[in-house]
Structures are given as structure tokens and as C-alpha cells.
Amino acid sequence: MFECRTFITVKEIAEVLGVSESKSYGIVRVLNKELADKGYMVILGRVSRKYFEERFYGVENETEVKEVQHAGE
């Protein structure tokens, strides 16, 4: 199956941020509304990976997030 790296899913957001999937849906709704307000087309349940990374403090990949989490322990 083809894996699309252009968009990040609710499940991936939950894993990266360590939150529930329902919280992730809320995050996706907010980010997609911001993009829609700027005139971009959006896909429900997914958001642009690049936009997600920009909005969450420059987090570029899951490895970087885990490094930050371990540093705080």
C-alpha cells in the first residue's frame, strides 16, 4: 500500500504528541480550519505534514520529538 508522507494522520499526531486520538482530531480540525481560511483545500482527518510541523514548534520528525521527551525525564 502507498504511504503518503505529504499528510499526517490523526493516529500519527496522537503518537508524536503523546495525546489521545480524540485530542488529535481536535488539533486536525483547528489546523485544517486555518488552512481553509487561507484558501487551501483540506482533507478531513489529515493535515499537511509541513504545516503541522511548522505549527508545533518546528518539530521536524518523530525522532526529534522523542529526543525532547527524553531530555525532560
Q: Is residue 1 part of a domain?
A: no
**pLDDT value at residue 12:** 94
pLDDT digits (tens, 9 = 90+) for 21-57: 999 999 999 999 999 999 999 999 999 999 998 998 7
The pLDDT of residue 2: 55
Residue 23 domain-assigned? Answer: yes
Q: Does residue 44 form part of some domain? A: yes
Q: Which domain holds residue 53?
A: 7-71
- Is 16 inside a domain boundary? yes
With a cut of 60, say whether residue 59 has pLDDT above it: no
Per-residue pLDDT, 73: 47
Does residue 2 belong to any structural domain of this protein? no
Residue 23 vs residue 1, higher pLDDT: 23
Domain assignment of residue 46, yes or no:
yes
Give the number of domains in the chain: 1
Q: Using CA atoms in the order 51, 62, 69, 45, what is the torsion angle rounded to 10 degrees?
A: 50
Rounded to whole angstroms, the Cα distance separating 50 from 44 reads: 16
pLDDT at 23: 95
Has residue 47 been placed in a domain?
yes
